[in-house]
Chain A
Amino acid sequence: MTVSTHAWMGYHRADGTVGVRNDLLVLSVAGLTGPCARRVAAALPLAKCVTMPFGGGLLGADRQLHIESLIGFGANPNVGAVLLIGSDIPKVQLIAQRIKATGKPVAAVCLDDCDHDVLTLTHRALRASADLLLEISRNRRQPAPVSALSVGLECGRSDPSSGLVANPLIGAVTDRLIGLGATAMFGESLEWLGAEHWLAARAASPDVALAVAEAVARRARLAAAQGEDLLGNNPGPTNIAAGLSTIEEKSLGAVAKSGSAPIQGLLRMAERPSKPGLYAMDGSAYSPESVSGFVAAGAQLVLFSTGVGNSYVSLLAPTLKICANPQAAAVLRNQLDFDASAVFTGHSTVHSATEALLHLVLEVASGTLTWGEILNEGDEVVGRLGEAL
């Protein structure tokens, strides 16, 4: 498929990014105000709601991840405007200022300003949200280049069809997107174990190769410290029965979704890449946390492979579910957005599926809904790294 320079239609933001959606994000920055945020979102179905179950007393890297995730959700190009709800004024102001730097409308309400009365807080939040919804409804889609896209790459509930077809297919589409100037991120650093040599060989610089290797080693040490031996019984008996012979083969099947482009850098969870290209994100192998890391880092779309089915999707970034298992494809008609099972049964080729999936990616970027959006399955989940004070 020849992809034209301006291949899709999106919402151009003041900071030069382009959204594939145009949402009002109602964002509660502390556990205390979560119920208020949910009340506002229930009253205004056009709004999308993200709440944090915690906030105070976080330390070091935990606090950094918390703050960067909140700012990252607000700054995501798919978000047209943000209503922040919080308890204490300084924290809300800090986050508001960082999101306002993108040029999008931001309003903030605080319990500190409402005599700590949640009904006053709810009233103010509702009114401000309604105003923002009207404001962003004036935005219109305009032609946009593929280079404005940033995609997160994820897999969940994998089976043999994932490593053989769905992940290599996502990798082929990622290569095409990167070739057109886009950005892509893959994470789940635990799954790089066994594929380090391949990832290191693809690193854009020796520093990046070293950082990737250290990220894998650190996660293996983390597991070892809790008594988990990642290499001893890996691949396990189920993997071996399914045809996997070595840890290298298992890992290569997982990281195949990153394609073959050079790796430009290693990102922290929620860290936004500084320039286009492919990035490795050092983060949790738990899909909800991993996907939210990409979304906070600016991903507007997620390409998510599954073997037996996986209903989890991002709330803010439309998530395309891609599956090559014929049984799952037949059963999960309202979950899977792309059926690659014809490749797995030998009736089609990865090459022809690549063109079709690339086409669907640009369609969804331009407004076609995913099943996850239609069924309202989305969420955003920020992990915790350690104890709070």
Chain B
Amino acid sequence: MSNPSTPDPAPPRDALLLTPADDVATALRPLHPGQQASVQGLQGTLLIRQGIPFCHKVACRDIAAGVWVRKYGEVIGVATTAILAGDHVHVHNIRSVRT
């Protein structure tokens, strides 16, 4: 199998921010409250406030209730409550814009 992408010498990142416009990053491994997580695409570290399961989303910035939430640089939903940076973002605090 072709795998010519050169692995970085730096330690692996804990989460991935897909575009600079995104409000949420996706956890590349389970994240724990109090952890300083390194996020691909984000300067510095992100203080994790809640447990984030593998492949679930974490807020990278504070999001006010009623505000659009972005991933892929696009709107994936609207916040149903205030969300703080480091919070778990999922069906309990965002909903589809369509419903």
Contacts and interface: CB of A to CB of B under 8 A. Distances in A.
Given A248-B98, A253-B72, A346-B29, A164 B55 contact: yes
A281 interface: no
A240 B94 CA distance: 12
Given A252-B72, A344-B28, A243 B57 contact: yes
Interface in A270-292: none
A224 to B, nearest CB: 15
B43 interface: no
B8 A347 contact: yes
Contact of A346 (B1, B40, B71, B74): B40
Contacts of B95: 246
A18 interface: no
A146 interface: no
Interface string A237-272: 000101101111100110010000000000000000
Binding site secondary structure of chain A: helix
B98 A245 contact: no
Interface of B: 1-8, 12-16, 18, 26-29, 38, 40, 53-57, 71-72, 74-77, 89-91, 94-99
B71 A252 contact: yes
B79 to A, nearest CB: 11
30 contacts: A164-B18, A194-B98, A195-B74, A197-B74, A198-B74, A231-B99, A240-B91, A243-B27, A243-B54, A243-B56, A245-B89, A245-B90, A245-B94, A248-B96, A248-B97, A249-B71, A252-B76, A253-B72, A337-B1, A337-B2, A338-B3, A339-B2, A345-B12, A346-B16, A346-B28, A346-B38, A346-B40, A348-B5, A348-B7, A352-B5
A353 B40 CA distance: 14
Given A333-B1, A343-B16, A352-B6, 4 more contacts: A245-B76, A246-B94, A348-B7, A355-B5
Nearest to A252: B72
A213 interface: no
Contact of B72 (A256, A347, A348): A256
A346 B26 contact: no
Interface string A329-355: 100010011111011111111001101
Interface string A359-376: 110000000000000000
